[in-house]
Amino acid sequence: METPIADFVNAYRKSGVSRLHMPGHKGQGPLGCESLDITEIAGADALYQADGIIARSESNAAALFGTAATFYSTEGSSQCIRAMLYLAVLHASISGERPVIVAARNAHQSFVLAAALLDVEIVWLWPEESPFSLCRCNVSHVQLERVLRTLPRPPAAVYVTAPDYLGSTPDVAALAATAHRFKVPLLVDGAHGAYLKFLPHGAHPIDLGADLCCDSAHKTLPVLTGGAYLHVGPRAPADFIENGKRALALFGSTSPSYLILQSLDLVNYRLAEDYPQRLASCAVRLEALRADLRGGGWRITQSDPLKLTISAAESGWDGRDMAALLRRGNVECEYADPDFVVLMATPENAERDFKQIGSALGRNPRQGPLRRPSPCLFPPEKACSPREAAFSPSESVPAARATGRILAAPTVGCPPAIPVVVGGERIAQDAVEVFAYYDISSVQVIPDH
């Protein structure tokens, strides 16, 4: 498969052209990559008006993913999530009424902030399972249908995360079929699942009926940080393709990184070659590690094939202590909270890495579950819209003293960047307890008058 962006930049690097254009390093510097870092010069195409080398590379990506169109982002899935909401609102063409999106509650804060910017009303799908986890919200198609039937008019979209931070995935095919019966598009935050397309069976949200899906290529593919895709499904409304670049441009920098664009371009070649075989081998190796850890007394949670999710609490540990244990064994995990530890593997990991995980954990000396009260979070009172909250003055207060206050904007860190309370919601005592559970010490609230 051709790599037009990388080929162009490499030829330019060798050309000896005097660089009387941005960026200011002029192709020289201590990092070693400066000669490949260019801007939108003649022949380099333009990301948001692509009709040359970028358009050709995106067409290659679309062929690999089996989409109607795939657009590149150099600002991660966050940019794509904002674009997806904009496309859904634009497609709905609701005159005089605020658009509504039905969303699973474990949405990334970029979704919440995009809803505030676009003045979208969110109808939340709350998890029907227990115990509570900030990261997980496995909603069902039955639950979705029940909510859709209660709405006075169809929403602009249904929005879910698949897979989530812990590697759990709702039934995307059933959710898509339900949404489509109501003539509503399904949007999927697939940031953690770009690789799913290349498994032996069709597990990618686009294959399962999603109309729009974002993938953070950099999370699971060999791509530089910030590289992401906005995919349009084969049966999605035509205006999603027509307005895709417009939507991304609305939220993106006019100076996209050509280092990231080259990385997205070059991965097409790797995906078209032996990547599926290497991926399958990695998944088999990770499953063997799961079996070894179970044999050593560790409780392993079901997850997507490239995540190793350890139920720390059920193994007798606080997840943060387990992360420290791994760190002492020279292993850095992706995420740890009081209940879970998440490690993410890819075919780029060597055998040494898998052995090091096993050596770091060894046999679990604590065979019983950790006994402590689990938090609960109930649907909070809506005091104002996310937009009203985001554009209100705010002040920072200790989370422990925030009961009764109205959240201005979510301030949870990444990972997992999943808000406990959403802007415009009143903070109840149960939320304060969840703040404490996840070590959230302060929150931004609207000042009392």
Q: Please give the Cα distance from 343 to 60 (Å, whole number).
A: 31
pLDDT of residue 128: 81
The pLDDT score that the predictor gives to residue 429 is 96
- Give the range among 2-11, 158-167, 305-314, 402-411 with minimum mean pLDDT: 402-411
Query: Which residues does residue 70 pair with via DSSP β-bridges, in sequence order?
Result: 231
Say what the pLDDT of residue 370 is. Answer: 87
The predicted structure's pLDDT at residue 371: 83
Q: What is the pLDDT of residue 151?
A: 96
The fraction of the chain above a pLDDT of 90, given in percent, is 90
Q: Which pLDDT does position 415 carry in this prediction?
A: 81
Which pLDDT tens digit goes with each residue over 18-57? 999 999 999 999 999 999 999 999 999 999 999 999 999 9
Q: How far apart are CA 177 and CA 193, in angstroms?
A: 20
- pTM, entire model: 0.96
pLDDT (0 to 100) of residue 367:
77
- CA quadruple 112, 73, 92, 189: dihedral positive or negative? negative
How much is the pLDDT for 275? 97
Domains and CATH numbers, the chain: 4-272 (3.40.640.10), 276-361 (3.90.1150.150), 386-445 (3.90.105.10)
Cβ–Cβ under 8 Å, residues 286 and 241: no
- Strand 340-344, strand 335-336: pairing: antiparallel
Mean pLDDT for the stretch of residues 330-347:
97
Other C-beta atoms lying within 10 Å of the C-beta of residue 372 = 11
Is the pLDDT confidence value at 153 over 80?
yes
Question: With 80 as the cut, is the pLDDT of residue 96 above it?
Answer: no
Q: At 93, is the pLDDT very low, low, confident or very high (cuts 50, 70, 90)?
A: confident
CA angle (198, 202, 207) in 5-degree steps: 110
Instruction: Say if residues 123 and 422 touch (Cβ distance below 8 Å).
Output: no
Q: Which of 39-53, 128-142, 351-365 has the lowest mean pLDDT?
A: 128-142
Contact 214, 255 (CB under 8 A): no
The 10s digit of each residue's pLDDT in 213-232 is: 999 999 999 999 999 999 99
Banded model confidence at residue 4, pLDDT cuts 50, 70, 90:
very high
pLDDT tens per residue, range 291-311: 999 999 999 999 999 999 999
What pLDDT, on the 0 to 100 scale, is given for residue 300?
Answer: 97
Strand, coil or helix: what is 266? Answer: helix
**DSSP states of 21-51:** SSSTTTT-STTS-GGG---S-TTS--GGG--
Mean pLDDT of 431-444: 93
Query: Looking at residue 155, what is its pLDDT?
Result: 97
Kindly tell me if the per-residue pLDDT of 94 is higher than 80: no
Residue 202 has pLDDT above 90, yes or no: no
Amino acid at 324: A
- Mean pLDDT rounded to a whole number for the chain: 95
CA distance 164 to 416: 10
Residue reference for tokens 């995360």: 161
Q: How much is the pLDDT for 372?
A: 83
Q: Please compute the mean of the pLDDT values over residues 257-264 and round it to a whole number.
A: 98
Label residue 212 by pLDDT band (50, 70, 90): very high
